[in-house]
Structure 1
Amino acid sequence: MEYRALKVRRQPEALRIVIDRPGQDNSINGDLIEDLHSALDLAEADPALRLIVLEGSGPVFCSGMDFADAARDATTEGGRTLPTEGGRAFYGLLRRLTTLPRIVVSVVDGRVTGGGVGLVAASDFVYASERSSFALPEALWGLLPCCVTPFLIRRIGFQPAYAMTMSTLPVTAARAAELRLVDELTDHAERTLRRLASRITKIDASVIADGKRYFARMGTSPEELEEVAVAEFARLMSSPAVRDRITGFATERRMPWETVR
């Protein structure tokens, strides 16, 4: 199958998915979301597969929203807003990662920002190198990480997620491990993956699905928060001030706190 934003290969023990938009810092757009769903379809259709490994090409795992994409006109031909449709599509992808009857592992070696933190938070396991970092800079643009927050709180709790959102400061890999956003710090992810795969391959896919479904019931379900997250994202993205900041960055690389020249 042809992928526009990914590199995908099947290994004996795992499906390896590499986000492959290095020229755009592996940012998230519609093509990437569609490609990821296609790759997940492939994984679900393979009864022998238990493990999915998500990685990023280059020094950035994922930089979140593609601002060039977001700077486009805010309405579709059908009258629906692109922020609503885009927010719902991304939220649906994150929710699928948490319910997929496969173990999803994010292997991080570099910077993770915005929606990339959502991909990490929605993964079952996260292995990261010491040089990795994690940040939610959305507030600098007048936004909030609406679709990321339910999954991040689910993984690390309310206060760390709130602090990352309101400070916008990057979190080091070591701190992310303390918060349990990262399960293991390692510069030898392949060794760690082999150890995990030796166990995961012995578990029936139905048990993986049961486990993920059962643990989802232990806290607030992301499904219950979808409408709140998508509606708030659409409201903020429709703000003229926010759109001006995004367009300025996409077209002139102007940071949101810089005045118009």
Structure 2
Amino acid sequence: MADHDPLLVTREGPVVRATMNRPERRNALSTAMGAAWDALLAELAADATARVLVIGGAGGHFCAGLDLTEVASDETPEQKLARQTVRNRRTGQRFADISALPQVVIAAVEGSCHAGGLGFACAADIAVATATARFAAPEVRRGLVPAQILPWLARRAGRTAVTRLVLEAGVIDAAEAARIGLMHQVVVDATALERQVQATIAAVLEGAPRALAETKGLLAALGPIAPEGYAEAGAAAFARTASSAEATEGIAAFKAKRKPNWVG
């Protein structure tokens, strides 16, 4: 299926909704979707009339992370290394751009919130999930590394909880995600999720626009999301692993729904 509308953007007054729209791939992040995100974020950064951005996903899922079909390729190792370095660098900047928006950003999470999906959810200011949502940072099971999502996970849930999440790389439920701090709130279903999103929007709109933007600036001034140089080191680490034999085997095993050859 072609990425004809990989990111659906709608607006109602000061509220903008961005819905990741690749339901057949659980809204996995493709190159086309990334480009659509970048265009929207550039627009919102300069838009003084938009006050809230709601991030969601189509088809009952939030985002399953990077589309692994775009990691595997017939390129030479050198070509793959260069391409993945650029892509991962851009991924990290995209999360930073979401966090830096003057608008209040709300993540409305259903279904799969995996890998890069966690980056979107944790770069948002407020995150609410349905009880059936599932969360994972499975990169190491694919022969990859969670390079650019790590700082956002650690900021939201703390280094100790995130260490276990990314090293065990298993799936956790919404209750556990809330317990460790990844989500601010869990609600029973999609209807309740929309109701809570509307309540959060209403609460945010009670605040003065300039004061809200300045408050977000003060939160950012409390400290950088990661040490200087981390983004580049993360991009390089992802590129090295993405162009490795481990990633080739890990992605093939994932597609075949089998264990990779390093297990047992």
TM-score under structure 1 length normalisation? 0.88
Match of 2:260? Answer: 257
Q: Is the 8 A contact 1:63 1:111 kept in 2?
A: yes
1:218 aligns with 2:222: yes
Q: Is the 8 A contact 1:27 1:63 kept in 2?
A: yes
Deviation at 1:78, TM superposition (A): 8.6
Give the secondary structure class of the aligned counterpart of 2:10. strand
Deviation at 1:3, TM superposition (A): 6.2
1:208 aligns with 2:228: no
User: Any unmatched runs of 5+ in structure 1?
Assistant: none
- Name which of 172, 183, 191 aligns with 2:195: 191
Consecutive aligned runs of 4 or more in structure 1 exceeding 6 Å deviation: 75-80
Number of residue equivalences: 256
Could you tell me which amino acid in structure 2 is paired with residue 20 of structure 1? N
- Tell me, in whole angstroms, the C-alpha distance in 2 between the residues paired with 1:74 and 1:117: 28
1:183-242 deviation per Cα after TM superposition (whole angstroms, max 9, x unaligned)? 111231222222222232243444333222322232443373212211211121121221
- Tell me, in whole angstroms, the C-alpha distance in 1 between the residues paired with 2:59 and 2:155: 28
- Tell me, in whole angstroms, the C-alpha distance in 2 between the residues paired with 1:79 and 1:121: 28
Q: How does 1:126-137 map to 2 (within 5 A)?
A: 126-137=127-138
Deviation at 1:60, TM superposition (A): 2.2
- Name which of 225, 233, 237 aligns with 2:238: 233
- Tell me, in whole angstroms, the C-alpha distance in 2 between the residues paired with 1:9 and 1:223: 35
Give the secondary structure class of the aligned counterpart of 1:195. helix
Q: Is the 8 A contact 1:95 1:222 kept in 2?
A: no
Match of 1:52? Answer: 53
Give the secondary structure class of the aligned counterpart of 1:88. helix
- Tell me, in whole angstroms, the C-alpha distance in 2 between the residues paired with 1:74 and 1:101: 40
- Tell me, in whole angstroms, the C-alpha distance in 2 between the residues paired with 1:197 and 1:189: 12
How much identity, in percent, do the aligned residues show?
Answer: 27
Q: How does 1:149-188 map to 2 (within 5 A)?
A: 149-186=150-187, 187=189, 188=192
Could you tell me which amino acid in structure 2 is paired with residue 245 of structure 1? G
Q: How does 1:43-192 map to 2 (within 5 A)?
A: 43-74=44-75, 81-186=82-187, 187=189, 188-192=192-196
User: CA, structure 1 residues 3+215, in 2 after alignment: closer, same or farther (shift >3 Å)?
Assistant: farther
Q: Is the 8 A contact 2:99 2:125 kept in 1?
A: yes
Q: Is the 8 A contact 1:111 1:132 kept in 2?
A: yes
Could you tell me which amino acid in structure 2 is paired with residue 141 of structure 1? R
Could you tell me which amino acid in structure 2 is paired with residue 12 of structure 1? G
Segment drifting more, 52-61 vs 125-134 = 52-61
1:151-209 deviation per Cα after TM superposition (whole angstroms, max 9, x unaligned)? 11011100111111011111111111112211111231222222222232243444333
1:42-63 deviation per Cα after TM superposition (whole angstroms, max 9, x unaligned)? 4334322110011111132111
User: Any unmatched runs of 5+ in structure 2?
Assistant: none
Deviation at 1:67, TM superposition (A): 1.0
- Tell me, in whole angstroms, the C-alpha distance in 2 between the residues paired with 1:54 and 1:137: 22
TM-score under structure 2 length normalisation? 0.87
User: CA, structure 1 residues 79+232, in 2 after alignment: closer, same or farther (shift >3 Å)?
Assistant: closer
Could you tell me which amino acid in structure 2 is paired with residue 190 of structure 1? E
- Tell me, in whole angstroms, the C-alpha distance in 1 between the residues paired with 2:77 and 2:207: 44
Q: Is the 8 A contact 1:249 1:256 kept in 2?
A: yes
User: CA, structure 1 residues 203+104, in 2 after alignment: closer, same or farther (shift >3 Å)?
Assistant: same
CA RMSD across the alignment: 2.5
User: CA, structure 1 residues 176+228, in 2 after alignment: closer, same or farther (shift >3 Å)?
Assistant: same
Could you tell me which amino acid in structure 1 is paired with residue 104 of structure 2? I
User: CA, structure 1 residues 31+222, in 2 after alignment: closer, same or farther (shift >3 Å)?
Assistant: farther
Deviation at 1:243, TM superposition (A): 2.6
